[in-house]
């Protein structure tokens, strides 16, 4: 069956450092992969999309890599800030239109 795995353990880092979150998937050949941010009690907010033919994508302090051989995506937040504290979700298309299959997310806590 198709699986998306994100590190279930919370990631605690110090302000100013780079946070790196991992998303691994199995039994997928996704056309693209997406990263979302979710705050407690709120819906997900889109951050970045990377397509299968792209190896890296950047947006301000965010960087996403996509290795279709390893079936892995890495999500980096550079110069992290306490406001970056949230749960970050990895999502892949469900091959049935544009519906998404989400990982459980990784909780990030950035401390001053």
The stretch among 12-20, 38-46, 61-69, 72-80 that binds another protein (CB under 8 A) is 38-46
For residue 81, the minimal CB distance to another protein (Å) is: 23
CB 21 within 8 A of CB 75: yes
Phi, psi of 24 (to 5 degrees): -115, 145
Residues near 6 by beta carbon (within 8 Å), at least 6 away in sequence: 21, 22, 23, 24, 88, 89, 90, 103, 104, 105, 106
Based on the shown chain and the rule CB under 8 A, indicate whether residue 28 belongs to the binding site for another protein. no
Residue (100 or 109) nearer to another protein, CB: 100
Given 11, 57, 101, 109, the residue binding another protein (CB under 8 A): 101
Binding site residues, another protein, CB under 8 A: 4, 32, 34, 36, 41-46, 49, 89, 94, 96-105
């Amino acid at each position: 069956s198709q699986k998306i795995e994100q590190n279930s353990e919370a990631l605690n880092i110090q302000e100013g450092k780079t946070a790196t979150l991992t998303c691994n998937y199995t039994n997928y050949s996704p056309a693209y992969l997406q990263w979302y941010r979710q705050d407690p009690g709120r819906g997900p907010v889109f951050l970045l999309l990377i397509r299968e033919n792209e190896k890296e994508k950047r947006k301000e302090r965010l960087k996403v890599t996509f290795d279709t051989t390893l079936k892995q995506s890495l999500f980096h937040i550079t110069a992290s800030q306490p406001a970056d504290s949230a749960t970050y979700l990895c999502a892949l298309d469900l091959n049935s239109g544009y519906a998404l299959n989400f990982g459980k997310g990784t909780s990030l806590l950035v401390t001053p």
